[in-house]
Homo-oligomer: A and B are copies of this chain.
Amino acid sequence: MNNFQFVNPTKIIFGKDEIVKLTKEIPSGSKVLLIYGGGSIKKFGLLDKVKNTLKEYNLGEFGGIEPNPTYETLMKAVDFIRKEKYDFLLAIGGGSVIDGTKFIAAAVPFTNDDPWKLIVEQLPIKNALPFGTVLTLPATGSEMNNGAVVTRKAINAKLPFRNPALFPKFSILDPVYTYTLPKKQIANGVVDAFIHVMEQYMTYPVAGMVQDRFAEGLLLTLIEEGPKALETPEDYNVRANIMWAATLALNGLIGSGVPQDWSTHMIGHEITALYGLDHAQTLAIVFPSMLKIMQKDKAEKILQYSDRIWNIPKNISDADRIALAITKTQDFFETMGVKTRFSDYGLGQEVIEKIVAGLKAHNMVKLGERGAVTPEVAGKVLALSL
């Protein structure tokens, strides 16, 4: 097992009707900005519920955070907060709203220079506005980690950053708020969480037995519950299990002490920046081909996965076990309704060169757990996904 540090101070408040706890978590007297995305939280009454719960506070609103939140939009929030002097942020939404709120929280006190440098130069973040979250979409794990991904439209860049100052103070996870999600969003969330686990699991063995077992537990839960979430959207326990699995998929725990990959994510970010595909769609396109191309490097873990997750019998050849495990993975994404080929999205051969160029431009040239996914290798992966 590798040496590691693990700390995660975010308080999780999980379950039906727990939104009433908001007033215990936000310091009284705070000037609170409610940050959200499109209109769905208005349509289904959640925004009203939050405002009613927080009626004793001085409240403001900033809506319109888009999927793949943009620097351009977020800086408008930053200006607004600086002017109106909000001192607590409450993100209400999914990973995009929460990621955006993290950038805002770090950018508001960073007045000396362009906050974009916090990302591209990974500048230290000395202080950030405190913030909490009300999660409506299980997927990214942003509700219990200190990372975020922000897009700068003007330069087609979608880049990740993380900082110890950017853990939410608390996150409220009520599975009921996910009942009204469109099927596509819950499907995307399940695939996103699944691949978050895989990025930390599907590398090479370092005898991290607990980490492997936990990762496998999350994968099995997503495989069992994912299709049910599409069929019976108002099954509380199904939604609860997916929500908790998605949070634990990326709160730092299963990745502690083990190698991590993340090449699929970095390539996926380029695809979204260039063609606007949903994050999960890009992962579903890239990941099965990544496994095929990198199968020698990952053989031991793919075999473990084929056994423990898919019960593939051990009496066939290793090559067959690996091929079958990859097929079953791809089939799972398709079962969730998330297509796995560029052609499904009307894209073809022409994408490869542009994506590879994007990787080079963002210095994503040695990806994966061994740094073996060069732009050339990425090109081969993409070619397998046409």
Using a CB–CB cutoff of 8 Å, the interface residues on chain A facing chain B are: 1-16, 18, 207-210, 212-214, 216-218, 220-221, 224-225, 236-237, 240-241, 244-245, 248, 253, 256-257
Name the B residues within 8 Å of A209 (CB-CB). Answer: 220-221, 224-225, 241, 245
Docked complex Cα distance between A244 and B248 (Å): 17
Separation of A218 and B216 alpha carbons in the complex (Å) = 12
A248 with B210: in contact, given A7-B9, A8-B8, A11-B7 (CB under 8 Å)? yes
Interchain CA distance A1-B221 in the complex, whole Å: 14
**CB-CB < 8 A to A241: which residues of B?**
1, 207-210
**Central interface residue in A1, A218, A257, by most chain B CB within 10 Å:** A1
Flag if B12 contacts A6 (CB, 8 Å): yes
Partner of A207, one of B214, B218, B237, B257: B237
Are A18 and B3 closer than 8 Å at their CB atoms? Answer: yes
A245 near B210 with CB under 8 A, answer yes
Q: For residue A3, which residues in chain B have a CB less than 8 angstroms away from its CB? A: 14-16, 18
Cα distance, A217 to B212, chains bound together (Å): 8
Beta-carbon contact of B210 and A1 below 8 Å: no
A1-B240, A1-B244, A253-B253 given. 12 additional CB < 8 A pairs? A4-B12, A4-B15, A5-B13, A5-B14, A6-B12, A9-B9, A14-B257, A207-B241, A209-B224, A210-B241, A210-B245, A240-B257
Which B residue sits closest to A246, measured CB to CB?
B210
Q: Which of B8, B214, B240, B245 contacts A217 (CB 8 A)?
A: B214
Number of copies of this protein chain within its complex:
2
A10: B residues at CB distance < 8 A = 7
Distance from A247 Cβ to chain B, minimum over Cβ atoms (Å): 9
- Specify which of A6, A18, A212 lies most central, judged by the most chain B CB atoms within 10 Å of its CB: A6
- Are B18 and A11 interface neighbours, CB within 8 A? no
A157 to B7, CA, bound (A): 35
- Point out the residue from B6, B13, B217, B236 that lies within 8 Å of A210, measured CB to CB: B217
Task: Specify the chain B residue showing the minimal Cβ separation from A6.
Answer: B12
- Select A213's contact among B1, B5, B220, B257, beta carbons within 8 Å: B220
**Separation of A248 and B221 alpha carbons in the complex (Å):** 19
Name the CB-closest residue of B to A211.
B244
Contact (Cβ within 8 A) A14 B256: yes
B207 and A213: CB pair below 8 A?
no
Q: List 18 A-B contacts (CB under 8 A).
A: A1-B15, A1-B237, A3-B18, A4-B12, A4-B15, A5-B11, A5-B14, A6-B11, A6-B12, A7-B9, A8-B8, A209-B220, A209-B241, A210-B248, A212-B217, A213-B220, A217-B217, A240-B257
Give me the 7 closest cross-chain CB pairs, A-B, nearest first: A213-B217, A3-B15, A207-B237, A7-B11, A9-B9, A1-B240, A6-B12
CA distance A379 to B277 in the complex (A): 64
The distance in angstroms between the C-alpha atoms of A15 and B224, with both chains bound, is 35
* CB neighbours of A16 from chain B (8 A): 3
Whether B8 pairs with A4 at a CB distance below 8 angstroms is no
B-side contacts of A217, CB under 8 Å: 210, 212-214, 216-217
Query: Which residues on the B side are within 8 Å of A208 (C-beta)?
Result: 241
